[in-house]
Structure 1
Amino acid sequence: MKYNEKEKHLRVFINKSEYHSDNNCIEEFKEGVVSNEAKMRIKHVKEIFQNGFLNQLICDLRENKIVADIEKVSVTAQNSLNELVDSLTSQVGRALIGLSVMQLCVKSIVPKQNVRLHKGSSNRGSFSWVEGISMRTLDKNFVTPALRKYDLLRLNADGFMMTRSLAENYPYTYLYKANLRGARDQWLNLVEELEKEKTEPIESLKYLLSKLLNAASEFNDKTNDLIEMAQKKCKKFAEKNAVITLVEKHSESSDYAARLLEISMHSLMQAAVSTGAFGDVEVKPLSQMRSANKKHGNIGDIELLENNDIIESWDAKYGKGYLREEIEEAVEKLENHNYVETIGFVTTAAIDRTKEINKRIEEIENLYSVNFQVLTFSAWVSQIYKRCLSSNFTNEKDLSCKWVQIYCEYLGQKRREQAPIDEPCLDWVISLIQILKDI
């Protein structure tokens, strides 16, 4: 039977393999003892691991000292990593996630190392690729200990590479035939993205570790504590100003106050819409941090949709009082949004050059028939409350408690469809627990 040479296939020779992908690209993998160049790469990788590379990265992410730059993680890689973590159960998926962490680490440390080649040895009696790397050694000594230490994956102490299905003498390609449990296709998609240099390894690694941190048992326990505490102290938040004080104090306690401003605004809008006071609209899910507005079709951070069209948009601007440039950028986006009625900016700073801004807003409103507003955070909250209370669908106490509840659930990853927050939230949850304790 003839085969189609344009289809993906693997050619296996006595001393090498050739991977033919469907775009006529051929990758050659020579078998034999590792080359001197490979030995140098392996030595460097081990040294970086020994210096605490993975442990330090996890700690910095937990403490929100660093975050993943989402723009440098390809959409395919994001989807693959999301599905890898979502597929994790107590019985399946752990090995592929552990392997993905290791491959991302290796690529981050030595981009030239091919992470398809999981065996490398100087022993002529053992199977090895000339440019391979012993992933089993790296796993047992560095990767599994770190993942176990921070409870990111519940792995056997001997490591995930002890899984026989990951040890076949074939490169990790779409044609790897071993029976793998978990998100096999997603893992192989990630490998392809890495080897074709379509995604940034270190940012992809941060992204994956962030998702694992948010799924860890410690995080879940703290989240449950937070939500329970918020429910018990609901009476403390019977008034709008009490919640404003809470979220402002929480925001100011973090190095990522701007992101918490977006989350607090989005959670209030979600609470407001859930009352029915705004009619038949929905809140567009919160965008990931650093997602480009133009790329995602956004006008602002918090948007109301009617029949999938943006009708109202609010952009959070932490600590910025002069917003002329932001207003002009919003005007440029109007040509792609024909149904928008209100565009607003919400700032935590005093509004600067009000006369100039008001004059420009009046010009824009006359040209486009769109209501432009620039408000302080407290004024915006008051406006949302007024709209809700005037409808008689809710009262100040119920709306305030609902806002606090949703804010806590957002941070606790309990509403990922509405707020897919991929920054590590543990530090935020812990700090909010402490603030609630003091109230």
Structure 2
Amino acid sequence: MPDIDPPDDWAKLPKIVKTEDGHIYVDEDENVYEYPFGTRNDETHQQYQYVRQALEDDQFRRYLRDAKDLHDDDNVPGLSEGNQQLLDDVVMGIHGDGRGIARVCCVQLFVKTVEPRLSTRLHKGSNDPSNFSWVHGWSLRTLDDSFGEKAIGVELDEHNLLLSNTRGGGVMTRALAESEPYTPLFGMALEGPRESWLEIVERLENDAIDAEAGLLYFLKRLFDEREVIEEGVTEARAAAELFEDTDPAIGDVEQLLIDHMEQADRQAKLLEVAAHSLLQAVEDADGLPGALKRLEELTAANRRGGTSTREAEDVGDIEIEDPEDESLLHTWDAKYVDVDRSELSGLTEKLRNNLSVERAGFVAVEQPGVDDDAAELEEDIADDFGIDVEYLSLTEFREDYVDNAEVSVEPRDWLVAYVETLGRQRMDRALVRQSPVTWLESLVELIEDETGEEVDDDVDGHVTSSESDTPDELQSGIEDFS
């Protein structure tokens, strides 16, 4: 790395500069850090391998177990109130757009616990000269989700603690994966508790926070928030029973869900869940012409590009497939806005890889509008694939799969499927990455307003992880690791 002028020559601190050879970071206390580019050196490689071995030997799983055994009022020694507040900020971000940040923070806490000499700022490191790497870097992506079933992100997902925005894990979001050290000057636009997270990084690097205590506290708080979600699901189930007592028709459930999505954030996601949960109830009544595929996530970029993070041949949000050969039969996109030409163009490309599709279209609260210039593409799809693109309101969608098909679906079954899908209780059938807490609360309030009744305060949604007392000694201490 080249020599640099003294810090007092710098206009403002902290400051980071990228040179041909690497990054130079000067913090607000005038400490200078040099991060040269290049393949990982031998010393860093050994340190990184030590972390990998810790994962292989179930060290992270032991931390998960110990955090789960901590009671609500148990304190984690060694953490100041200020450090706890920073960690709380990051944990609470999982209820908004901060899931990726929370996931990265968890990996960093584990790395610093196992091998304090590694820098949590340098999240890319490789022995392959063709890959970007810092000499002292390590692979956040590998530890997060490319280390098999013991990868940190995979373990977090397995315990339903937080789900990141993309299938590839939190670090796979474009901003978090930028080749820039994680410092207070990290230049990428990030949703969520950015400042609190980057302050945690600074404190980890300056030994101002105990990494092991921070990791245990962080995981404990994730379990706490999972419990909040479970309690919300219990309360929403109780509210569904109140609604059932009004003897609703299936159309009444439909209107309830429409009212819910229209007063909530992310209406398109709720519409997607409403349509998919209806088909779950129909499938349970043996009324589908095939098997309902698991509801997955598509990123905005993938939607625009006409591709999917699931598999290239997937074509819609809500899909029915042939159970024998898994070929697609029906595919629907849930739309909360009008359908434009680009979406029809994308559908055309997708259908070329799925010639088995018999029905394809769009579902909206009301029959979705279509851009005027889309007519030609509709004709092309009809000519090329022998199907007409359908535009259905949610009512028409329900009538098509329930009323017209003469399927016996209890109204309650649709509502319960909706609640449990939102609450992540049906992960085998539907993946909802967003935190459902606000959604569930607003649904309960809506049902209480509709029925004039209130959910019993004695409804017990509390979920305890262990009936035993907190063990005298936590088993995840790094001093016991070998």
Deviations 1:132-172 (A, max 9, x none): 764962454x5555655xx4247xxxxxxxxxxxxxxxxxx
1:218 pairs with 228, 244, 262, which one?
Answer: 228
SS at match of 2:269: helix
1:366 pairs with 383, 406, 412, which one?
Answer: 383
CA contact (8 A) 1:347 1:376 kept: yes
Letter in 2 for 1:218: V
Q: RMSD value over aligned CA atoms?
A: 4.1
1:137 pairs with 210, 217, 233, which one?
Answer: 210
Larger relative helix fraction: 1
Deviations 1:62-85 (A, max 9, x none): 2x3656499x99698356345413
| Corresponding residue for residue 422 of structure 1 | 433
| Structure 1, gaps ≥5 residues long | 1-23, 32-45, 90-99, 114-130, 155-212
| Corresponding residue for residue 291 of structure 2 | 282
Flag the 1:30–1:405 CA change in 2: closer, same or farther, 3 A: closer
1:77 pairs with 141, 144, 158, which one?
Answer: 144
Deviations 1:326-382 (A, max 9, x none): 111101111211211111112346643577645642442122112311123333233
2:333 pairs with 315, 330, 354, which one?
Answer: 315
Letter in 2 for 1:425: P
CA contact (8 A) 1:267 1:403 kept: yes
Q: Does 1:28 align with 2:43?
A: yes
Flag the 1:221–1:359 CA change in 2: closer, same or farther, 3 A: same
| Corresponding residue for residue 409 of structure 1 | 420
Flag the 1:317–1:53 CA change in 2: closer, same or farther, 3 A: farther
| Corresponding residue for residue 299 of structure 1 | 315
Deviations 1:104-157 (A, max 9, x none): xx99995389xxxxxxxxxxxxxxxxx9764962454x5555655xx4247xxx
Flag the 1:313–1:376 CA change in 2: closer, same or farther, 3 A: same
Flag the 1:340–1:145 CA change in 2: closer, same or farther, 3 A: same
Flag the 1:135–1:237 CA change in 2: closer, same or farther, 3 A: farther
Distance in 1 between residues matched to 2:443 and 2:387, nearest whole Å: 38
1:259 pairs with 252, 257, 269, which one?
Answer: 269
| Structure 2, gaps ≥5 residues long | 1-38, 47-78, 105-139, 161-168, 171-175, 185-203, 451-482
SS at match of 1:28: helix
SS at match of 2:222: coil
SS at match of 1:260: helix
Q: Does 1:347 align with 2:334?
A: no
SS at match of 2:329: strand
Deviation at 1:404, TM superposition (A): 0.6
SS at match of 1:308: coil
| Corresponding residue for residue 43 of structure 1 | none
CA contact (8 A) 1:310 1:337 kept: yes
| Corresponding residue for residue 241 of structure 1 | 251
Letter in 1 for 2:351: L
Residues 138-157 of structure 1 mapped to structure 2, 5 A cutoff:
138-140=211-213, 144-145=216-217, 148=220, 151-153=221-223
Letter in 1 for 2:320: L
Distance in 2 between residues matched to 1:284 and 1:134, nearest whole Å: 48
Normalising by structure 1, we get a TM-score of: 0.57
Distance in 2 between residues matched to 1:221 and 1:376, nearest whole Å: 33
Q: How many residues align?
A: 297
Distance in 2 between residues matched to 1:153 and 1:351, nearest whole Å: 41
Distance in 1 between residues matched to 2:92 and 2:83, nearest whole Å: 16
| Corresponding residue for residue 268 of structure 1 | 278
Distance in 1 between residues matched to 2:449 and 2:89, nearest whole Å: 31
Deviation at 1:221, TM superposition (A): 1.9
CA contact (8 A) 2:296 2:431 kept: yes
Letter in 2 for 1:84: E
SS at match of 1:419: coil
| Corresponding residue for residue 37 of structure 1 | none
CA contact (8 A) 1:287 1:419 kept: yes
Normalising by structure 2, we get a TM-score of: 0.53
Deviation at 1:415, TM superposition (A): 0.6
Flag the 1:303–1:111 CA change in 2: closer, same or farther, 3 A: same
Instruction: Calculate percent identity across the aligned residue pairs.
Output: 19
Distance in 1 between residues matched to 2:366 and 2:98, nearest whole Å: 25
Q: Does 1:394 align with 2:401?
A: no
SS at match of 2:296: coil
SS at match of 2:308: helix
Deviations 1:213-265 (A, max 9, x none): 4xx22221221121133134224463232122211122123221111111111
Distance in 2 between residues matched to 1:137 and 1:243, nearest whole Å: 51
CA contact (8 A) 1:388 1:394 kept: no
Distance in 2 between residues matched to 1:76 and 1:342, nearest whole Å: 42
Distance in 2 between residues matched to 1:387 and 1:411, nearest whole Å: 27
Q: Does 1:111 align with 2:182?
A: yes
Distance in 1 between residues matched to 2:297 and 2:271, nearest whole Å: 14
| Corresponding residue for residue 241 of structure 2 | 231
Flag the 1:304–1:337 CA change in 2: closer, same or farther, 3 A: same
Flag the 1:53–1:289 CA change in 2: closer, same or farther, 3 A: farther
Distance in 2 between residues matched to 1:81 and 1:30, nearest whole Å: 19
SS at match of 1:417: coil
Distance in 1 between residues matched to 2:159 and 2:208, nearest whole Å: 21
Q: Does 1:437 align with 2:448?
A: yes
SS at match of 1:315: strand
Distance in 2 between residues matched to 1:222 and 1:243, nearest whole Å: 19
Flag the 1:348–1:74 CA change in 2: closer, same or farther, 3 A: farther
Distance in 1 between residues matched to 2:99 and 2:264, nearest whole Å: 13
CA contact (8 A) 1:68 1:423 kept: no
